[in-house]
Amino acid sequence: MKVVGQGGPGWLRAGAPAGPAASQRAFTMVEMALSLAIIGFALVAIVGVLPIGLQTQQENREETVVLQDAQVWLAALRAGARGYDDLTNWVESIEVHWADWTMDGRLLGQGRDLYTRTNSDIISIAPAPHLPLTNGAIIVGVMGTPKYIHVPDVFRPAGFRSNYVVAYVRAFSGPAVEKPPQSDPAVQDLAFRYRLVSEVVPYREWDTNWIAFDAQGLAPAEATQRSNYWWVARNLYANVHEVRLLFRWPVRPNGTTGNGRMVLRGTVSGVRTNQGPLHFYQPGLFARYP
């Protein structure tokens, strides 16, 4: 129906039907089936992805805890720290598996030193000291044990001892409910734990061809240059060490570890000093090759 109004000829009156009243239709069975199928696919996707997301969240949280702990360990070893007594709340035991060798690789003996919070079983030193983990100096000193120790010293080696140092630690980062003065055994048993392997090795990043000053056919100038570099390399070997911290987690009740793994590396400069089985690095104090 055409009307004449403000809009001009040909405009329809507002609200007027364009034609016969159309019948209202409901969803057909096909449309309902398609809707249910889409909802079903969405639910399957959510249920399938949700556990992966939760697992990823847990792994990220554990990696963050380990990374925060690693910074403390690295700083303590590099500084030769003796005052980290709070570590006694977290370190449950330390094992040092050692073996004595000749310079040509012949095994002379091997054993294990064990340190716990209440006792120690040390067979590598006579007489065996009694060193339970009662303060931070003992913990840092044992964890600073070098992977290789030359006998009698690094400049005149007649043999060496290899060491494998591993600690079992309750994380000191993470939820506050797990931290001291919490003494509930149930809470402590459920706390996050990791296994820490500490390796301290001398600096060896040099080309052996540069220090072979006694090679045949060298010009005098090159022999002198190689001799000087050999002298520098020997001093670096005695005063610069690489610290490698290998974390594995979580620690299961049977002592095995899960799939979590992280490796951190750092460099410590300074001469190594020891007090029995305890080893510390003194930043700013260096040994000079004779």
More confident residue, 5 or 235: 235
Q: pLDDT, tens digit, for every residue of 4-13?
A: 445 455 444 5
Q: pLDDT, tens digit, for every residue of 171-195?
A: 988 787 777 777 788 877 888 999 9
Res 25 pLDDT > 80: no
Helix (H) or strand (E) holding 195: strand 193-202
Q: What is the pLDDT of residue 96?
A: 98
CB atoms within 10 A of CB 205: 8
User: What's 39-101 look like in SS3?
Assistant: HHHHHHHHHHHHHHHHHHHHHHHHHHHHHHHHHHHHHHHHHCCCCCHHHHHCEEEEEEEEEEE
Instruction: Tell me how far apart the alpha carbons of residues 245 and 136 are, in angstroms, rounded to a whole number.
Output: 18
More confident residue, 56 or 223: 223
Q: pLDDT, tens digit, for every residue of 97-149?
A: 999 999 888 999 999 999 999 999 999 998 899 999 999 999 999 999 999 98
CB atoms within 10 A of CB 246: 15
Helix (H, G, I), strand (E, B) or coil at 8: coil
Instruction: Tell me how far apart the alpha carbons of residues 26 and 225 are, in angstroms, rounded to a whole number.
Output: 94
What single DSSP character describes residue 34? H
Q: Which range, 37-46, 94-103, 279-288, has the best average confidence (pLDDT)?
A: 94-103
Instruction: Tell me how far apart the alpha carbons of residues 175 and 116 are, in angstroms, rounded to a whole number.
Output: 25
**Cα Rg for the chain, rounded, in angstroms?**
34
Tokens 């019948």, located at residue: 23
Q: What is the pLDDT of residue 68?
A: 92
In terms of phi and psi (left: phi > 0; alpha: psi -120 to 50; beta: otherwise), the region of 284 is left
Q: What is the pLDDT of residue 1?
A: 47
Res 83 pLDDT > 70: yes
Helix (H) or strand (E) holding 112: strand 107-116
Instruction: Tell me how far apart the alpha carbons of residues 220 and 235 are, in angstroms, rounded to a whole number.
Output: 23
Tokens linked to 157: 């080696």
Helix (H) or strand (E) holding 141: helix 136-143
Buried b (16+ CB within 10 A) or exposed e, 54-85: eeeeeeeebeebbeebbebbbebbbbbbbebe
